[in-house]
């Protein structure tokens, strides 16, 4: 290879390349290459909520002749507790994973030099 060949390669590298769907916001290629997955966790939680609602409804219909206020309240409380636990767990895990992805993306941009690090103001002891 001659010096002219190296100069041509430098010129080609300096030319802007067309953006592809694999590029992120800054024009950098995405490193993960994984397509977004379906929200199977959401479908599982939704199915569990439907099952709990059906079980609650069937329980109330079956024992409606012997139903007193304490029994109805107990069944309703148990159903809402399970539904609340499922929904809270799903969205808690989802928020944690989304935050983890955001941090990973920010760190990779900072390493590549594409992002300005955020300014953090340390709180002084006397404030």
Query: pLDDT of 69-81, one tens digit each?
Result: 888 888 889 989 9
pLDDT of 51 reads: 92
Count of other CB atoms within 10 angstroms of residue 63? 13
Does position 47 have pLDDT exceeding 70, yes or no?
yes
- Token output for 75: 């069944």
- In this prediction, residues 40-54 reach a mean pLDDT of 89
pLDDT tens digit sequence for 8-45: 655 555 555 555 555 445 545 455 555 677 788 888 88
């Amino acid at each position: 290879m001659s010096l002219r060949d190296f100069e041509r390669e430098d010129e080609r590298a300096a030319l802007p390349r067309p953006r592809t769907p694999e590029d992120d916001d800054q024009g950098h290629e995405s490193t993960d290459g994984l397509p977004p997955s379906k929200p199977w966790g959401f479908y599982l939680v939704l199915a569990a909520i439907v099952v709990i609602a059906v079980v609650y409804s069937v329980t109330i219909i079956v024992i409606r002749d012997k139903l007193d206020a304490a029994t109805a309240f107990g069944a309703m409380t148990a159903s809402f507790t399970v539904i609340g636990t499922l929904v809270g767990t799903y969205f808690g895990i989802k928020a944690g994973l989304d935050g983890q992805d955001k941090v990973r993306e920010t760190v990779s941009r900072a390493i590549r030099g594409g992002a300005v690090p955020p300014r953090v103001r340390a709180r002084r002891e006397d404030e």
